[in-house]
Every structure is written in C-alpha cells, then in structure tokens.
Structure 1
C-alpha cells in the first residue's frame, strides 16, 4: 500500500527499519526499497543499537540512492557533528558480521521472548502476540487494572518490576489513546526475566 501510494504520487519515503533483524517465528522482513519502483525513492534507516543490542551507542545508518543520501548528509551536518570514533569502529566491525550472527541473535531473542511471555501469562496477564522487536505488550485489564500509568507506577514501587505505559507513546492532547496496555522489555539476562515474572506472580497472586 505504501509503495503503491509513493509511486502514484511521486513521493520520497523515509523508512524506519531499525528492527529489521528482530523478526521471529520464521517471519521475514521485506525492506520497502526492494519492492518495484521503490529503490530510487526510499531512504532506509538502520540502528546499531537495535541490531547489536547496544542501546547506548545511539548510532544509526542509512541506505538509499546517491542523490537522496547526498541531500540527507547536507541536512545531517546541522543536526550532529560526530559520534565517538570507538563507537564507529565497533559498528563497522559489527556490520561485517556474517549471517550466523543474525541467526544466533534472533534465536536468542526469541527464546527470551518466549521465556518472559510464559512468565507473564503465569502471573495472570493476557500477552499480545509479538513477532518482532524487544518488547511484549500486556493487557492490564487481565489483572484488574485500567490505567496504564498508574499500573506501571504501582508495579515499579510495589513489585519492583518496571514497565512502560503504552499511552506514553501518544501526544497528551490526542484523543483515543489506549490506557489499558503496558510494555515489558525482554532483552535482559534470562535470570532477570525469570525473577521479574516471579515477582509479578507473587504480587498479583
């Protein structure tokens, strides 16, 4: 749909594909620029922080046709000057990894997803399907809560487990924002995920 609209209206598309390698259950990510007629009109954004689990690095990279990248570079020079050289070298080394790295990466994250998902369900949560990213979303109504902000504050203070309210991703003035969902991150050590699940199970018992 996006590609069709872009071709029809002669649009340039900036594609956030930072989770391109975090796709589970045998699903495949299809970059928009690989679709017919999109290579010359797409800028694709990747993230070292997501691909290599190095959140603090804050280094991304873009792919696209030379005219668009040239224009992007002119804009970028007014937004940031540089990233630490050691970070750049580390990311360059990572980008040279073979396919086996990504296979292990996805397998490891899928295992952690399944571990936390099982633990949250055992604690009484309805867990939404997750076929990508680092995050699981739960419906807090399954444990008798309605307000996602209050829920996240409650479990942080009383169960000692942190989550993010989904409504935080909406502008405060926006109507219709959901308030009955919270997000948990599973890119942690297995023992931490198990402990978090156990704490929530005890708290909601």
Structure 2
C-alpha cells in the first residue's frame, strides 16, 4: 500500500476515491473499514502435491472489511493473477496475455469486479490512443472472470486534461462500448460498498 495517500472527501455522493492515491490506502483511511494484506505466492509441493502459500513482501492483494464483515477484495497489477492461482483458474487457458489493472476491486454484495485505470496527461501522446483500448480490455476482463461467474465494470479515472473539447469523441466512445469514466474522483458508493453514515449525510 502506498504511504501518504490522500483520503476521501465529503460530498453529496459520499466518500470519493481520488486520482492521486491508491485504492487500498484510500479505503483503509475510512471510518469502520479495515484493509488486510492478503498476498501470497502459491507453490505446489513436489512431495505431497498440496498447494502451499508464502506471504509476499511486496503486496498487491488485500481483503476489505467493513465493521468486521468482509465486503471486498482489492487487486493491483500481478496481484490479480495470484488470486487466480488461489482459486485454481489458469488464466492462460482463458486469455493469451495478462492485463495488469492499476486498481481493481471485487465487491462481494454485487458480485462485480471494478477495474480502475488511472490516466494523466500534460500533452498529446500515447495516453490518447490507450483510452481507445477500453472496449478490448473490458471484453478480455469479462472473459477472464466468466469462469468464476463474476460481472465486470471498467472505469477510467482521468485528470482535468481530458476535459478539453478535443476529447469529446473519445469520451463518447468510452461510454458507447460499455465502459465508464470519471474525472479525478470516483464515489465509494458507485462500487456498491457501504458508506460510513456520518460521511454520507448531505450537509
């Protein structure tokens, strides 16, 4: 988990995940939430054939609890594939190449995996074209989670650079293929996660 992350803000839609922090840091800072490191390497024992697990120093998987009840799991980058190792899903039989999400969260109540890709830009460049790949990536993620019977939603979290009129067609395209985008903030409520009561009140 990255240190020094910025916590959520009180808004009319509840706490908001911000572009400049990472998801486990953000959620860990919220009232009634507990984020637990849950990242292991999995090895099959040559002697017994059993699946053994060893805790990793660099963590990219977490469990999320709200008031002591497990509500979600967070995966970053390769941590997603260690989750597949744990549930014994061979991703290579489903897709031909790994997709590495900046942040992703599986919310238990709605059985949905939210993929979150952060994009920042200060000039025309490669990010422009990457925004147009969301259709392919969403389809690949859906294929990946289909054997586990999980739904998938794909979000871009963008900075203000992409508010320029020249991005209108790209942003319209993102919506047209079933993906979503937000600028700078993404409400916790949008994941279907519990929002602490005192922060959800409209002030």
Q: TM-score range by the shorter chain?
A: under 0.3
Structure with the largest fraction of strand: 2
What is the TM-score with the length of structure 1 in the denominator? Answer: 0.22
What is the TM-score with the length of structure 2 in the denominator? Answer: 0.22
- Structure having the higher Rg: 1
